[in-house]
């Protein structure tokens, strides 16, 4: 349990975060509350000092900032654009050595601006592994007018996983709009998300989701174990309460109560039934935006596993309504 925590004797929280996803924080060089960092450090997997921001700092200032994070047990990475710039100038090897010597313990390899030749990619990967550094590979383009297709994204995720990274990060930028899984309004393209997590192990994929609304939707739909990146330092605690079901949006979230097997749609439908039941199928489709077949399949599996129950709607005998199996509440 988290020691000496406020109300810890009344509402215990597990300290090991078992079953909870990883959070990557985007550091934009804004002021950090270093006093509270030790309390939040266990909720942060890695801090990324964004894009080429380290170039603006004196080396001593950068080293001190990295050191403060690492003393709290938090890994630190430069943004992938920094290495892209070094590659473009033919200085990748020197940049990697400087990254290591400054105290960074994580390398991010990306192709958001340029395409990195395969032999240079391999060199970056080999450097990270041989120096005991963590490796994250980012997939996606930064220019809204030069986006990868879904099939191209899937192919690049596959190629990236072959390098053995800690995470493959799906590009979301700082705005969370007009890139990869986000449309021009910042809404999530669920067909993209579902395709990615159906193809690859979810524990190896991280979605950049800078906006709290996006984070909430991803936690609700994919569960507390979803890995999220580009989270602001000020949103770390809020996201952790979402993961733990300690906030209204995810109070009673599936992962913290009942184990639901199968695709993410099963968990999402279970969540809807748990929080809106008794509810009929048409209403579920309206709430979730999922098609009839997906909802039907999820309901069938949930019924077969005894997680929900069906009854005739008293107001309309032609309809069936679904609710949580009372024995599991």
CATH number of residue 148's parent domain: 3.20.20.70
Q: Does the residue 182 lie in any domain?
A: yes
pLDDT in tens, 9-63: 766 676 667 789 999 999 999 999 999 999 999 999 999 999 999 999 999 999 9
The pLDDT score that the predictor gives to residue 255 is 47
Q: Are residue 183 and residue 317 in the same domain, yes or no?
A: no
Output DSSP code: residue 188. B
1/15 Cα distance (integer angstroms): 5
Q: Does the residue 71 lie in any domain?
A: yes
| Residue-range definition of the domain harbouring residue 191 | 23-250
231/324 Cα distance (integer angstroms): 33
β-sheet bridge partners, residue 170: 139, 207
Q: Are residue 150 and residue 237 in the same domain, yes or no?
A: yes
Do residues 211 and 176 touch, judged by C-beta distance below 8 A?
Answer: yes
Host H or E run for residue 321: strand 316-324
Q: Are residue 54 and residue 178 in the same domain, yes or no?
A: yes
- Weakly modelled stretches of the chain, pLDDT under 70: 1-3, 10-12, 14-16, 252-258, 326-329
Beta strands in 80-189 (DSSP E): 106-109, 134-139, 167-170
b/e burial code for range 180-200 (CB count within 10 A of at least 16 → b): bbbeeebebebebbbbbbeeb
Q: Are residue 210 and residue 285 in the same domain, yes or no?
A: no
The pLDDT score that the predictor gives to residue 290 is 81
Q: Does the residue 14 lie in any domain?
A: no
Q: Are residue 151 and residue 32 in the same domain, yes or no?
A: yes
The pLDDT score that the predictor gives to residue 261 is 82
β-sheet bridge partners, residue 75: 46
Q: Are residue 69 and residue 153 in the same domain, yes or no?
A: yes
β-sheet bridge partners, residue 84: none
44/236 Cα distance (integer angstroms): 8
Q: Are residue 159 and residue 278 in the same domain, yes or no?
A: no
Q: How many domains does the chain have?
A: 2
Picking from 44, 37, 142, 135, the residue whose alpha carbon sits closest to that of residue 85 is 142
Q: Are residue 208 and residue 238 in the same domain, yes or no?
A: yes
b/e burial code for range 41-60 (CB count within 10 A of at least 16 → b): bebbbbbbbbbbbbeeeeee
The pLDDT score that the predictor gives to residue 176 is 96
261/305 Cα distance (integer angstroms): 9
The pLDDT score that the predictor gives to residue 326 is 61
46/22 Cα distance (integer angstroms): 8
Q: Does the residue 85 lie in any domain?
A: yes
The pLDDT score that the predictor gives to residue 267 is 81
Query: Of 250, 274, 301, which residue constitutes the final position of a domain?
Result: 250
Q: Are residue 66 and residue 151 in the same domain, yes or no?
A: yes
Q: Does the residue 15 lie in any domain?
A: no
Q: Are residue 137 and residue 277 in the same domain, yes or no?
A: no
Query: Of 226, 250, 274, which residue constitutes the final position of a domain?
Result: 250
Query: Of 211, 226, 250, which residue constitutes the final position of a domain?
Result: 250
75/65 Cα distance (integer angstroms): 12
Q: Does the residue 49 lie in any domain?
A: yes
> Quick one: 113 exposed, middle or buried, by C-beta within 10 A (0-12, 13-18, 19+)?
middle
Q: Does the residue 317 lie in any domain?
A: yes
Q: Are residue 245 and residue 294 in the same domain, yes or no?
A: no
Q: Does the residue 13 lie in any domain?
A: no
**CA angle at 204 for the pair 98 and 152, rounded to the nearest 5°:** 90
Peptide bond into 278 cis (omega under 30): yes
Q: Are residue 207 and residue 320 in the same domain, yes or no?
A: no
Helical pair 264-276 and 281-288, crossing angle rounded to 10 deg: 110
20/223 Cα distance (integer angstroms): 9
């Amino acid at each position: 349990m988290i020691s000496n925590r406020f109300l810890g004797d009344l509402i215990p929280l597990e300290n090991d975060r078992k079953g909870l996803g990883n959070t990557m924080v985007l550091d934009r060089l804004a002021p950090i509350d270093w006093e509270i960092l030790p309390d939040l450090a266990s909720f942060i997997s890695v801090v990324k000092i964004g894009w080429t921001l380290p170039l603006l700092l004196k080396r001593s200032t950068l080293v001190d900032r990295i050191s403060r994070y690492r003393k709290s047990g938090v890994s630190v990475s430069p943004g992938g654009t920094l290495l892209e710039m070094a590659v473009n100038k033919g200085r990748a090897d020197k940049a990697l050595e400087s990254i290591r010597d400054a105290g960074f313990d994580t390398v991010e390899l990306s192709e958001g601006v340029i395409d990195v030749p395969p032999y240079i990619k391999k060199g970056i990967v080999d450097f990270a592994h041989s120096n005991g550094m963590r490796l994250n590979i980012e997939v996606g383009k930064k220019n809204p007018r030069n986006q990868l297709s879904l099939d191209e994204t899937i192919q690049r995720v596959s190629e990236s996983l072959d390098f053995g990274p800690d995470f493959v990060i799906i590009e979301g930028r700082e705005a969370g709009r007009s890139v990869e899984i986000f449309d021009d309004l910042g809404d999530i393209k669920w067909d993209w998300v579902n395709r990615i997590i159906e193809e690859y192990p979810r524990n190896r994929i991280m979605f950049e989701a800078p906006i709290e609304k996006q984070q909430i939707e991803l936690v609700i739909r994919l569960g507390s174990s979803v890995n999220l990146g580009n989270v602001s330092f000020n949103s770390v605690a809020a996201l952790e309460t979402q993961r733990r079901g300690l906030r209204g949006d995810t109070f009673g979230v599936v992962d913290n109560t009942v184990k639901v097997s199968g695709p993410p749609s099963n968990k999402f439908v279970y969540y809807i039934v748990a929080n809106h039941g008794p509810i009929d199928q048409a209403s579920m489709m309206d709430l979730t935006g999922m098609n009839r077949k997906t909802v039907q399949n999820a309901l069938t599996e949930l019924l077969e596993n005894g997680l929900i129950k069906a009854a005739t709607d008293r107001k309309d005998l032609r309809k069936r309504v679904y609710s949580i199996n009372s024995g599991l509440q």
